[in-house]
Structure 1
Amino acid sequence: MPKGNYYIPTPSNEPVLTYAPGTPERAALKEAVAAARKEQRDIPMYIGGEEVRTGNTLPMSPPYDHQHVLGHFHEGDASHVNQAIDAALAAKEDWENLGWEHRASIFLKAADLIAGPYRAKINAATMLSQSKNAFQAEIDAACEFIDFLRFNASFMQEVYMEQPESAPGIWNRLEYRPLEGFVFAITPFNFTAIAGNLPAAPALMGNTVVWKPSYTQIYSAQVIMEVFKEAGLPDGVINLIYVDGPVAGDVVFKHNDFAGLHFTGSTGVFKHLWKTIGENIDLYKTYPRIVGETGGKDFVVAHKSADAQEVATGLIRGAFEFQGQKCSAASRAYIPSNIWADVKGHMADALKEISMGSPEDFSNFVNAVIDKNAFNKIAKYIDQAKEDKDVDVIFGGNYDDSVGYFIEPTVLLAKDPKYTTMCEEIFGPVLTIYVYEPEEFEATLELVDSTSPYALTGAVFSKDRYAIELAAKKLKNSAGNFYINDKPTGAVVGQQPFGGARGSGTNDKAGAAMNLLRWVSARTIKETFVPPKSYRYPFLDKE
């Protein structure tokens, strides 16, 4: 067949649309949301070339309007996990043998479909099922997902172009083959882009995948699958199943052909899965690749030289966008006493303006948390804070689940820097602040580093470059994504590869070539053009 050296079109980040009043994108999105609310979708699993409906259906409702039903999805069981694995393995040979440029073309087409005809639909689905406002849906379901697809294709080319040197008479080369077996992708509720990227990245590199999304994200996951199918993804390459986690794990992690796990979710679940894989290691053909991004207890530390209004803005956006349900959300902050009054004042002004409610009302900055379980967990932290003497509720603290799972942006002031909410991941709109004396900056940095088992994101605000350098050094192991004079959220594909270490994951950096390297196995080939015909070396000759 014809061959050539192909170059992926140079990727650039998808422009973020504003959705300002009077814009065409605002009108299109409102229309898409209204249309989706009027219908009830019947969502099957996608296994091989089949749409699988079990009849065991579960309802899907908007978190901000939990009495409304968007539709139902068909829950599977262990037999469907086995069916999905069989479909993935059956599709594997043809898929991995397909020219890499054709694999790239499928996902590049998917990116263009999302940028164009599917943009309003996937954003509307994310707003409805995950309670994201229009802007949060746009930067996630549209822009970040598009960026993952386009940049990963370019990163794939970079991986393949990484080749060794050759000595005279020898040609050394590396080939990158997909893993021997199937990849299992487990995806979270909070980012549609992550839900799409976790199965797509291994598939791009020639792997076939079994994909299990969060039940609270299935509504938009179905749109992702619709896009992949329209882009020309062959049957069986990505198999989408809706099965309870332990049921799926009991099948997947005991299968001889399990080759890799691509995971985003809780630290506890990830540790359990890692342990299970270790216990079953003798069952597998190869050592499975384990890639995971988990929790965070992300920090903001301000120096005495910091601008109070900049700090306040970073805290408001970093802690309360998408109700703090980002693994990168600002959850603990350390503010020097010399600027605390001003920071508090600016936060008060902003919080007075912020409105909370349905994302269908574009004026609402804060929307509902994802479900009843999350609501109860977050409310419990707030109730405990109201009773404890070591902390004060200085903003917010109210919640109501009568219509949707609404929790006010809540700010706690802790007297104890090791108070519960300074240490434990909450995953909601709760920010805890500790005020320290300005001369204790270096000691506070040590406190930041030692307080949490996580190391995902963090930020320092300062006008003093020596203080910034000190923070960067002291906190080198505290955050996989470190921000200077900015909030600790909003990593952009191709600009800030994302991931953390310690309890936050394997730091394999989604949105970078290093992540794609995890989904291939390299073979070194050495070819000698004129092989020797005698075993003898010159040193053996006599004088």
Structure 2
Amino acid sequence: MNNALFNFKTPENEAVLGYLKNSPERISLEKELKAQSSMEIEIPLIIGGKEVFTGNTAEVRMPHNHKHVLAKYHIAGPKEIEMAIDAATKAQKLWSETDWTIRASILLKVAELLATTHRGILGAATMLGQSKNIYQSEIDAVCETIDFLKYNAYFAGKIYEFQPRSAFNQLNRIEFRALEGFIFTVSPFNFTSIASNLNMAPVMMGNTTVWKPATTALLSNYYLMKLFMEAGLPGGVINFVPSKGSVIGKQVMASKDLAGIHFTGSNATFNHLWQEASSHLPTYKSYPRLVGETGGKDFIFVHPSSKPWDVAVNAIRGAYEFQGQKCSAPSRMYVPKSL
């Protein structure tokens, strides 16, 4: 019997390491970069905690060196997609009834492993597979992923903590229930941290997912999935299903057990998912919840006290770092006439 209440301390953002020459983190990362770039791994599907090899494969190549093959990945077809839906649906009841502190403990274990033994692994995979530099990879694949995990666990506790008052002659309580069915998660190529968060946020609240990773981020996403499992995530809670978008989308959207979609990508794709969901409404067990982040527009607001050279340097860096392929890339500036 467990009647304790757990209060996690307020998280602090993960410190960004400098990777200076001859620093421990730089030596470790360079070693991992050399190891990952010198081998060609095989990436299976992971359904119900088990590796699945379909025989239908494609290659993961370095974006900055197209001749260099990093991995061969297996592609899910209708049979495997149905297996993933079934695995997620079957795992949902037990996982949703698992004590929230156990779910939170798994998230925090992932964060701990990523901050220590797996820092170089995920950082190197993001650099090689998504062409990010050391700094970009560190703030995304490592620090932001850790922050998402810690803050999700912390704020989940705050949500569960919120309860109505009870009187001496009555007891009032709110039960926060997971969605009935599975969540379809569609992650983008440009942020490893978003791939983690699209899955682990609903998982923290007792949901299970069928995950379609971006084929152009498969190396880091595969290492993420392995990290989740190493931290103790039960089989079936997250199902890793690389597949062609049109194939998996059509099958998932037609499933009566679809409970929600967690998406980051283009406006057009998210619009299509909304349209597909509306056409299948009569067949769903409940109304699916759709949450999506699509194309964003950032801007720079320049203060009159700013130095022109600093503004110019950071405007160019902000707009074109990682080729501008992120929502924080500015496309507009507001500059005072006095400058």
Normalised TM-score (structure 1): 0.61
TM-aligned CA deviation for residue 185 of structure 1: 0.5
Structure 2 matches for 1:527-542, cutoff 5 A? none
Q: Which runs of 5 or more structure 1 residues have no equivalent in the other structure?
A: 340-543
Partner of 1:469: none
| Structure 2 residue matching 1:2: 3-state secondary structure | coil
Structure 2 matches for 1:96-245, cutoff 5 A? 96-167=96-167, 169-245=169-245
| Structure 1 residue matching 2:132: 3-state secondary structure | coil
Q: Distance in 1 between matches of 2:31 and 2:257?
A: 45
Partner of 1:88: 88
Q: Distance in 2 between matches of 1:22 and 1:136?
A: 20
Deviations 1:238-273 (A, max 9, x none): 000011111111111111110011000011111111
One-letter amino acid of the counterpart of residue 320, structure 1: Y
Q: Distance in 2 between matches of 1:334 and 1:93?
A: 51
Assess if the C-alpha contact under 8 Å between 2:258 and 2:288 holds in 1. yes
Deviations 1:302-334 (A, max 9, x none): 466654234224312311222211112112334
Q: Distance in 1 between matches of 2:49 and 2:157?
A: 29
Is 2:33 the counterpart of 1:7?
A: no
Structure 1 stretch displaced more, 87-96 or 186-195: 87-96
Structure 2 matches for 1:197-346, cutoff 5 A? 197-302=197-302, 306-336=306-336, 339=339
Partner of 1:25: 25
TM-aligned CA deviation for residue 94 of structure 1: 1.4
Q: Distance in 2 between matches of 1:305 and 1:70?
A: 48
Deviations 1:173-218 (A, max 9, x none): 1010100111010000000000111011101111011000100011
| Structure 2 residue matching 1:36: 3-state secondary structure | helix
One-letter amino acid of the counterpart of residue 255, structure 1: S
Q: Distance in 1 between matches of 2:205 and 2:336?
A: 48
Partner of 1:39: 39
Partner of 1:424: none
Q: Distance in 1 between matches of 2:305 and 2:115?
A: 42
| Structure 2 residue matching 1:66: 3-state secondary structure | strand
Bigger helix fraction: 2
Structure 1 stretch displaced more, 28-37 or 277-286: 277-286
TM-aligned CA deviation for residue 87 of structure 1: 0.3
Q: Distance in 1 between matches of 2:312 and 2:173?
A: 53
Deviations 1:475-498 (A, max 9, x none): xxxxxxxxxxxxxxxxxxxxxxxx
Structure 2 matches for 1:361-440, cutoff 5 A? none
Q: Distance in 1 between matches of 2:78 and 2:273?
A: 17
Aligned residues: 339
Q: Distance in 2 between matches of 1:34 and 1:323?
A: 25
| Structure 2 residue matching 1:178: 3-state secondary structure | coil
One-letter amino acid of the counterpart of residue 213, structure 2: P
- Cα distance change, pair 304–8 in 1 and its aligned pair in 2 (3 A): closer
- Cα distance change, pair 15–302 in 1 and its aligned pair in 2 (3 A): closer
Structure 1 stretch displaced more, 325-334 or 227-236: 325-334
The structure having more radius of gyration, on CA atoms, is 1
RMSD: 1.5
One-letter amino acid of the counterpart of residue 244, structure 1: K
TM-aligned CA deviation for residue 144 of structure 1: 0.5
Deviations 1:92-150 (A, max 9, x none): 12111111111111111011010010000000000000000001000011110011111
Q: Distance in 1 between matches of 2:182 and 2:173?
A: 26
Q: Distance in 1 between matches of 2:331 and 2:45?
A: 36
Q: Distance in 2 between matches of 1:168 and 1:27?
A: 63
Q: Distance in 2 between matches of 1:182 and 1:174?
A: 22
Q: Distance in 2 between matches of 1:301 and 1:136?
A: 23
TM-aligned CA deviation for residue 338 of structure 1: 5.0
TM-aligned CA deviation for residue 163 of structure 1: 1.2
Q: Which runs of 5 or more structure 2 residues have no equivalent in the other structure?
A: none
| Structure 1 residue matching 2:175: 3-state secondary structure | strand
| Structure 2 residue matching 1:317: 3-state secondary structure | helix
Q: Distance in 1 between matches of 2:3 and 2:163?
A: 18
Q: Distance in 2 between matches of 1:214 and 1:34?
A: 24
One-letter amino acid of the counterpart of residue 194, structure 1: I
One-letter amino acid of the counterpart of residue 262, structure 2: H
Q: Distance in 2 between matches of 1:304 and 1:220?
A: 42
Q: Distance in 2 between matches of 1:334 and 1:5?
A: 49
Partner of 1:51: 51
Q: Distance in 1 between matches of 2:148 and 2:64?
A: 29
Assess if the C-alpha contact under 8 Å between 2:49 and 2:239 holds in 1. no
Q: Distance in 2 between matches of 1:333 and 1:154?
A: 36
